[in-house]
Amino acid sequence: MDDYLRLTQKNKSHVVAGLLAIFLGLFGVHKFYLGYNQTGFVMLAVSIIGSLLTFGLAAAVIQVIAIIEGGIYLTRSQSTFDEVYVRHSREWF
């Protein structure tokens, strides 16, 4: 099972993850791309449900977090990105 996870998460591009975070981060798409499904669902739920309760403020906060994450992903080298976000499964920032 560990080999399967390593193979499925092996080829994750920091550029794709960064662009997904910047443009679709409101919905947690970049988290789903990296294999962090639980975190992706949290971002999606906060964006949708939280926005209904806070008149869009929760979605704005999630979008700011996603833009920051996208910037971090894009400024990292591919090898550093792989080490931190793919191998060590760092889910936030």
Whether residue 17 contacts residue 75, with contact meaning beta carbons closer than 8 Å, is answered with no
Residue 34 lies in a domain: yes
Q: Tell me if 92 is assigned to some domain.
A: no
Domain membership of residue 29 (yes or no) is yes
Q: Please, are residues 63 and 25 in contact by the beta-carbon 8 Å criterion?
A: yes
Give pLDDT tens digits for 63-72. Answer: 999 999 999 9
User: Which DSSP state fits 77?
Assistant: -
What pLDDT score does 71 carry? 97
**All residues at 6 or more sequence positions from 9 whose CB lies less than 8 Å from its CB, including other chains:** 34, 35, 86
Number of domains in the chain: 1
**List of the chain residues with pLDDT < 50:** 1
pLDDT at 92: 80
Tell me if 44 is assigned to some domain.
yes
Tokens representing residue 64 in the block: 């700011």
pLDDT at 93: 74
pLDDT on residue 86? 87
With respect to residue 73, please indicate whether it lies within any of the assigned structural domains: yes
| Domain region containing 36 | 2-87
